[in-house]
Every structure is written in C-alpha cells, then in structure tokens.
Structure 1
Amino acid sequence: MRKKADLQPSPAGVIGAAEVSRALETVLASLDDSKAENIVSIDIQGKSSLGDYMVVASGRSQRHVAAVADHLIKALKDAGFGFPRVEGLANADWVLIDSGDIIVHVFRPEVREFYNIEKMWQTPDLDEETVH
C-alpha cells in the first residue's frame, strides 16, 4: 500500500538539484519520444516559486496532445517521481502536468499560439533558454 506522500508530487524546491535535473531529462526525453513538437524548456528558478523549470510543447491534434501527456505521466511515475497533478486532459487542447519542480504545458498549436505563455516567462537573456 502506498503512503499518501507517495501519491503527491514533491513541493517545488524540496528535491535536490541533481533530482531536478534528472526529472527535466525524463520530461524532455518523454516529450521527444512522443514526437511532441517545438519543445521549449524555460528556467524559472528565482522568477517564480511555482517550480524550477517550465516546459512547453505542442501536439498536432487533441489525440496527440492526450497521448503525449499520458506518456509523460507514465514516464514520471516509472522514473520514481510520483503522480503529477494533471489538468485539461479531458479536452486535450491544453494539458498542464505539474510534477512539483517542473511544470509542463502541452498544447494544440492554435491554443499555444493564442496564449503564448513562453513570452510571459522568457526574459531578454534568450541565450540561456533551451530550445529542442
């Protein structure tokens, strides 16, 4: 039987830098494996208490967005990061996956363009941002 703590993502900033790095690698690898498009990783450390990284990606359709999100949720669980909080999976226009230290947004392209959340979080030092 799992303890309740096992079912919740760790609060932002609680796990060490090495674990955050491993979680980010897990997220990026899963998105790449799922053929997510325009994957952008944004370092939000010091900009927000929400987490350390925000990752934004696109799926080609609602079905693809849902598949990418499902694959990522399984990858996080299998890598030992627990069960992330998930919003929007039923409609699959914009799915938010919150693993605690890493927040992932998977959009349909039109929805991503409309909200343009990357612009909100990116700072003028774009050289530091990682685009995959």
Structure 2
Amino acid sequence: MTEAICKAASDKKARDIVVMDMQGLMSSTDYFVICSANTATQVRAIADNIEEAMDEAGIAFNHKEGYREGEWVLLDYGDVVAHIFMQEAREYYALERLWGDAELTPYED
C-alpha cells in the first residue's frame, strides 16, 4: 500500500516523498507516507490521485482531514496514513523530527 500511495503522489509531482516506519512507535498505524507540494491546489490534486489509486485497488480511506484548506491533507488508510503538506506546513509540523525514532525511507521513482 505504501508503494501505491507513493507512486500516486509522485505522479502528481509531489516532492520529498518519504515512508516512515511507525511499527512499535504508534499503535494506530504502521506507516506514514509524507510528501510536499507547492500550492494548496497541488496538495488537493495529490490527495485526489492517491484516493483514486486506492479506490481502484479496492481500498477506501477511513478518514480524511484538511482537504478544503489544502495546507495539510491527511488520508488515513488504517495501516498507512498519507500526509500531503504544503512545504511551509511540513517544515512547521516537522513529523520526521517529531517521530525521530522512525526509520525513514525516501521514495525513488
């Protein structure tokens, strides 16, 4: 699932895509996929593309937040949570630092 989410984000030109292994650090999910976008419009386009790709795979999200504002969209798929940030919001919330014990794997096309 992380691969499909990363690819869908990459297809819409998301930047700095990383997968964080949250197993053993958080009980509610196994992985975070985090990526950045330049504008709120691009954040929503990335979120839409992830949602479409997962729908095609027969996987519906459990929860979605932040879509209207477009600064930080969260798509919760249970085992994987996708975070699509505008760059400034990503720097401000700094999930990679907040969860510094998590193993980070950059996504490469």
**1:93 paired residue among 56, 62, 71:** 71
Q: Does 1:40 align with 2:15?
A: no
Contact 1:40 1:131 in 2 (8 A): yes
Contact 2:61 2:75 in 1 (8 A): no
**2:42 paired residue among 54, 64, 70:** 64
Structure 1 Cα separation of the partners of residues 94 and 26 of structure 2: 18
Q: 1:85 Cα shift?
A: 1.5
TM-score in terms of structure 2 length: 0.92
Q: Secondary structure at the match of 2:7?
A: helix
Q: 1:129 Cα shift?
A: 2.0
User: Which residue does the alignment assign to 1:130?
Assistant: 105
Contact 1:65 1:106 in 2 (8 A): yes
Q: What is the CA deviation profile of residues 7-47 of structure 1, one whole-angstrom value per residue up to 9, with x for unaligned ones?
A: xxxxxxxxxxxxxxxx1111111111111001110000111
Runs of 4+ in 1 over 4 A off after TM superposition: none
Q: 1:82 Cα shift?
A: 2.0
Pick the structure with greater CA Rg: 1
Structure 1 Cα separation of the partners of residues 74 and 38 of structure 2: 16
AA partner of residue 131 (structure 1):
P
Unaligned regions of 5+ residues in structure 2, if any?
none
Unaligned regions of 5+ residues in structure 1, if any?
1-22
TM-score in terms of structure 1 length: 0.76
User: Which residue does the alignment assign to 1:115?
Assistant: 93
**2:53 paired residue among 49, 60, 75:** 75
Higher strand share: 2
Q: Secondary structure at the match of 1:107?
A: strand
Higher helix share: 1
How many residue pairs were aligned? 107
Structure 2 Cα separation of the partners of residues 80 and 51 of structure 1: 19
Q: What is the CA deviation profile of residues 55-111 of structure 1, one whole-angstrom value per residue up to 9, with x for unaligned ones?
A: 110011010001000111111111111244110000000000001100111010011
Contact 1:73 1:84 in 2 (8 A): no
State the identity as a percent.
37
